[in-house]
């Protein structure tokens, strides 16, 4: 059941991978039934400002941690270190084609995995920011 307490618990208790799956399930990219989507938005609007701020902060943290530019930089540094070690151990005669294929594969896989998490976190963070802004605007009207 999609209600305030359920949402609060999901965003506090779930680990990152589970939270991303939850977001993709409840707020899919491809869209969903209007009534269902509107009900979920209303539940999010019913959360307190501090709850919405906590959700935004958590999404920002996930977004930063899974930023592909940082992941690629880290993988490149690690793979460069591995290359130096392998060059030292095996000498100059080793095949660089195999190493290059390994590098590209590692970067592509890590980038793809982090990109999906980054996109989901960014999407949901933007959604919650807009909901919070709408809520503030509605409260100022009253």
Confidence of residue 94 (pLDDT cuts 50, 70, 90): low
**91 has pLDDT over 80:** no
Is a pLDDT exceeding 80 seen at residue 51?
yes
Structure tokens at 100: 């290059």
What average pLDDT does range 47-68 have in this prediction? 91
Query: Across the chain, what does the average pLDDT equal?
Result: 85
Phi, psi of 47 (to 5 degrees): -70, 155
The structural domains of the chain, with segments of one domain joined by +, span 4-141
| Interacting residues of 123 by C-beta distance below 8 A, sequence separation 6+ | 23, 27, 29
More confidently predicted of 79 and 138: 138
- Nearest C-alpha neighbor of 89 from the set 76, 77, 99, 100: 99
Does residue 22 carry a pLDDT above 80? yes
**Confidence (pLDDT) at 53:** 95
């Amino acid at each position: 059941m999609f209600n305030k307490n359920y949402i609060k618990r999901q965003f506090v208790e779930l680990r990152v991978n589970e939270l991303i799956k939850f977001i993709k399930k409840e707020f899919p990219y491809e869209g969903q039934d209007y009534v269902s989507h509107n009900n979920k938005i209303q539940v999010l609007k019913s959360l307190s400002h501090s709850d919405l701020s906590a959700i935004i902060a958590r999404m920002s943290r996930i977004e930063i941690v899974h930023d592909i530019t940082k992941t690629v930089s880290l993988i490149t540094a690690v793979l460069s270190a591995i290359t130096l070690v392998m060059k030292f151990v095996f000498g100059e005669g080793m095949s660089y084609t195999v190493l290059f294929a390994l590098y590209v594969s590692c970067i592509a896989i890590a980038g793809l995995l982090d990109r999906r998490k980054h996109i989901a976190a960014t999407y949901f963070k933007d959604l919650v920011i807009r909901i919070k802004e709408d809520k503030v605007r509605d409260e100022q009207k009253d």
